[in-house]
Amino acid sequence: MKLYWRRRMIVVFAVLVPIVLLLALVLVTARAGDSGPQSQVPAATEPQVQDPTAYDHLKVFQAIADEHGDRATGTSGYEAAARYVEHQLAKIGYQSSRQYFTFERRGEDFESFNILAETETGREDNVIMLGAHLDGVRNSPAINDNASGAAALLEAAKELSQQDDPNNKVRFVWWGAEEFSKSPGSKHYVEDLAADDDGELDNIAAYLNFDMVASPNYVIGVYDARESDHRPRLEVPDGSRQIMEFFTDYFDSRDQPWVATGWNFDSDQRAFIEEGVAVGGLFTGGDERKSRKEANLFGGEAREPRDPNYHTSGDDISNVDQEALSIMTDAITHAATSLAEDSSALE
C-alpha cells in the first residue's frame, strides 16, 4: 500500500507542479505588464513625450545642435531638425511635404528645402499662411533665431489639428536657408506660385511670419504696417494693417503691452511683400538696443541688446526667455485657430 500511494503522489505532483509554475508565471507577467511602463518612464518626463510644449521642442532643437554642431542649411543638423518637425506633424495628423530648391552664393551652388503642411479642408481661395525659418547660422544652436519660431509654429499646428474642419485652409511652412541673403527658401516658394497661371498666389489671404520670439531682453513686437508712421523701402500691401490690428487687439484684450517693430528687416516675409500679399508678424528682438520706454513696459535692461547672443554660439536654450516664448506662442496659436474659422478681421 505505501509503495502504491507513493507512486500515486509522485504522479499527482508531476502533473500539479507544472500547472502551479505556469500560473505563477502568468501572474508575474501580468503584474509586470501593469507596472512596467510607469517604472521605465519617469513621471516627470512622460508629459513631455506625450504632449510637448514649445519649450520642450526647444530642448530637442538644442540636443540636435549639440549632436551635429549646428542646424545650418545643408548640414546633418538641418536634416535632423527637419525630420523632427515632420515627425511631430505626422503625430498630430498632418501630411507634410518637402519643397526642394537650389540657390547660388559666391559662385557656389547650395540645395535646401522647405517643409509644408496644411489642413485637409478649408477654402482653397482664402489660404492663411504661417511661417518660420528652420535653419540657423553656422556654429550656433540658433535657439532664439529661430528654433523659437519653429517651435511656436508646431504648437499652433497642434492646436488647430484639434478643431473641427476649418472654414479657411491654413498652411504652415518651415523655411529653409533664411540665413542666406534674400531668404531663398521663401523667395523660391513665392516665385514658384507667382509663375503659376492658376493664380495660386492670389489665393493667399495673408502671410504671418515669426522670426525670433523668445529673446532674453525681449519686447512684444508687432510688425508695423502703419504707412503714416514710417517710410518703408517696400510698399505695405493692402490688408497688412488689418493683420497688425488683429494682433494688437489680441494683446490689448489681455492687457499685454506691445510695441510696433520694424517692417523692413530682411526675413521670409519680404518675398510676399514684393508680390503684394498682405503680411504681418511678431518679433521679440535681435541685436538692436532696448529703449528705456521698452524696459519700463517689459522689464529687462535698457540700452542693452534685446538679444545679445544674436548669431553667436551663445544663442542656446539657457539664453531664451520662456515668458516671451509663452506669450508669443499663445498669440500665434490664436491667429491660426481664429483665422481658420473667420478671416473677416483681415478684410
Q: What is the pLDDT of residues 217-251, one digit of tens each?
A: 999 999 999 875 666 677 899 999 999 999 999 99
Q: Report how far Cα 71 is from the mean position of its chain's Cα atoms.
A: 15
The total number of residues written for the chain in this structure: 347
Mean pLDDT, residues 186-200: 93
User: 197 pLDDT band (50/70/90 cuts)?
Assistant: confident
Q: Which residues, in sequence order, are bridge partners of residue 3?
A: none
**Half-sphere exposure for 220 (CA within 13 Å, toward CB):** 26
pLDDT per residue over 270-300, tens digit each?
999 999 999 999 999 999 999 999 999 999 9
In angstroms, the CA 340 to CA 166 distance is: 5
Integer angstrom CA distances of residue 333 from 23, 233, 336: 53, 30, 5
Name the residue ranges covered by the structural domains of the chain.
Answer: 1-40, 46-346
Class (C level, CATH) for 46-346: alpha beta
Residue ranges of alpha helices (H) inside the chain are 2-40, 46-50, 54-68, 76-91, 148-161, 184-194, 240-253, 270-274, 292-298, 322-341
DSSP 178: T
Mean pLDDT, residues 150-159: 98
Residues belonging to the active site: 178
Quick one: pLDDT at residue 11? 40
Question: Which residue carries 495660386 as its cell?
Answer: 200
Angle at 164 between CA 159 and CA 166, to 5 degrees: 85
